[in-house]
A and B are shown apart, each in its own frame.
Chain A
Amino acid sequence: MRRWGEWVFWVVVAAAYFLLPSRSMLIAEIATTALFALSLDLVLGYAGILSLGHAAFFGLGAYAAGIAAKNGYGDPLLGLALAAAVAAAVGAVTSLLVLRGSDLTRLMVTLGVASILYELANRLSWLTGGADGLQDMDVGPVLGRFDFDLGGRVAAAYCLIVLFLAFLFVRLLVRSPFGWSLRAIRGNALRASAIGVPVNRRLIAAYTVGAGLAGIAGALLAQSTQFVSLDVLAFHRSADILLVLVIGGVGWLYGGLVGAVVFKLMQDLLSQLTPQYWELWIGLLLIAIVLVGRERITALFRPHAAPAPAE
C-alpha cells in the first residue's frame, strides 16, 4: 500500500474508535479478527503454507490467557506473552508435521491438529471448563491502570493498540531479508534452496511466528470478553479466517485487516436483517469478489501490482 494510503487507513481506524464509542465491542472484535487474519497472512500469503486449522493457535492463546487469568495471573500483558509463547511452542512442534508433503497434506494435517486440540479442550474440563466454557476469569487492569469496562472502551483501545504493534512487527518482518526469503520460497522453493535458502528452517520460523500472533489474537478475545468457550478451537473459526483473508486479499498485510472489517460489519449488519441467512450474503460477496476480481479494487493502493487488465 502506498504510504499515504497507510496513513489514511490508520487515521480512519483511530477515528472510528473516537467517533463510535457505542460500537466499542464491535471494534474490539474486528481488531481481534484482524490480528488473527494477519497471522494467517504471514503463514499463507508470505510463507505459502495452506492451513485449515489456524484456529488451533487462536484457541491455545485464548485458553492460555484465560486459564492464567482464572488462576490469579490476570495481568493482560502477561496473558498475551503467555498466549504467544504457548501457541508459538505448539506451532514450532506441529510445523514439523505440516512441512511434510504438499498443499493437500498440509490442509489435512492442520485440520487434524486443530481437531485434536478441540477434543482435548473438551475432555480436560477440569482445566478448560469443557463444553460449559472457561468462566470466572479475573482479568486485571491494562498496565495496572485501565480496567476493562462494560462498554468496551478499554477493550477496544487495548485490542487496537496490540493490533497496531503486531502489524508494525509483521510489516517489518515481511520487508526484511527474512521476509524476502519467505516470498522466494513461496514463489519457487526449488530455486530458493538452489541459491542457499534453508527452506524448511525458514518455514518453521514463519509458521511459529504466525502461530504466536494467532495466540495473541486469541488472548485478546479471551481478555476482552472475559470468557473462553470451545468455539475458539472450532473448525468454522479456521474456515472463517481463511474467508476473511480471501475477502481482503492474500499476501499484502492489509488484506487481513480490510477483510476483517468487511466480514465483521457484514456479519453485524446482515445478522440484524436476516439472523439466519447472513452467511448467504457473505457467500454471495465471495463469489462477486472472485468474478469481478479484487485486483481492480485494490490495485489503487498497491505499489507493485500489475495494472488491472482492460476489458
Chain B
Amino acid sequence: MTLALETVELRRNFGALAVTDNVSLKIPVGARHALIGPNGAGKTTLINLLTGVLRPSSGRILLGDEDITAYSPDRRVRRGLARTFQINQLFADMRVLENLGVAVHERRGMGSTWWRRARAEADVLELAGRFGLTQVLEQRVADLSYGQQRLVEIALAFACRPRVMLLDEPAAGVPEAEREDILAVVAALPEDVTVLLIEHDMDLVFRFARSMSVLVAGAVLVEGSPAEVAANPRVREVYLGEGGHG
C-alpha cells in the first residue's frame, strides 16, 4: 500500500490544550477518505496543519515520501497538496477564466512571467469543461450563483493538479437545486487523485467515502470503512447518535 498522505504523531497545542493530539493518519493513494467529528473536534486545525497555515508543535507530515512539515503553504501546493475551503475563497472581481488561469500559470511555473499577455490556456478550457463552467468563463465570479461559485472553488483546487485534494465541506451552503452538480463533480474526480473529505453531512460521507476517521477532542477515535464506523458504539455515542455532548 503506497501512501499519498501520512501524518506521524501530529500534535498542536494552544497553551495547555492539545487541539490536535497525536494524530497519525495513513491515507493510501487513490483513497476516498472522510474525516468527520463533532464541532470543536479539531478538524479545521488539522486542515490548517496539513496545508501549512499552522505549524505543528510536534510530529511530521509526509506527502508521498516527502517530508513537507517545514514547507510554506504555496510550496505544499506546488508539491501536489491542494485544498478547497468551507467558505468560498475566490477572486471575486476576476473572471472565471482568470481565476482558473492564475492556478494553471502557477502549476506550470509561469506565474512570474511578465513579458507576455496571459491567455486562456488549453488547461483552463479543459478545466472549465470538467466543472461545467464553459458558459460562464467570461463572467466575474462575483456575478455567479452560489452553486457555480462552489464549482469554481473546487475547480481552483483541481487546477493545481494535486496528488492529494482536501475537500472542506464541499456542499456546504449550496442550495438543494445545485447540490447534485457539486456531488457529481466530486464523484467524478479522477481515481488517481487521493481525496480527503472533511464533512458534516453524513449523507454525503456515506455516498462518497470508502474509508473514514472519526476525530474527537483532537484525537482519532475510530478508523475504518463507513459501515464499520457507523456500527461502532463509541461513535454512535459521541457523534452519530447525537446523544453525546457536541
Contacts and interface: CB of A to CB of B under 8 A. Distances in A.
Given A191-B85, A196-B103, A176 B91 contact: no
A165 B229 CA distance: 66
A261 to B, nearest CB: 26
A191 B91 contact: yes
A178 B77 CA distance: 18
A227 B56 CA distance: 57
A181 interface: yes
A194 B89 contact: yes
A125 to B, nearest CB: 40
A196 B98 CA distance: 15
Contacts of B75: 198
B14 interface: no
For B85, B98, B112, B115, which residue has the most chain A Cβ atoms within 10 angstroms?
B112
Interface in A175-214: 175-181, 183-184, 187-188, 190-199, 201-202, 205
Given A194-B89, A196-B160, A197-B106, A178 B112 contact: yes
A306 B114 contact: no
Interface string B63-95: 000000000111101100011010001111111
Contact of A172 (B72, B78, B115, B140): B115
A181 B115 contact: no
Interface residues of A, number: 28
Given A172-B114, A176-B114, A187-B93, A198 B101 contact: no
Contacts of A187: 90-94
22 contacts: A172-B115, A176-B113, A176-B114, A176-B118, A177-B111, A177-B114, A177-B118, A178-B113, A183-B98, A184-B91, A188-B89, A188-B90, A188-B92, A190-B89, A191-B89, A191-B90, A194-B77, A194-B89, A195-B156, A196-B74, A197-B111, A201-B112
Given A177-B102, A194-B82, 19 more contacts: A172-B114, A175-B117, A176-B116, A177-B105, A177-B114, A179-B118, A181-B102, A183-B91, A183-B98, A187-B92, A191-B85, A194-B73, A194-B89, A195-B106, A195-B156, A196-B77, A196-B111, A196-B160, A198-B72
Interface of A: 172-173, 175-181, 183-184, 187-188, 190-199, 201-202, 205, 304, 306
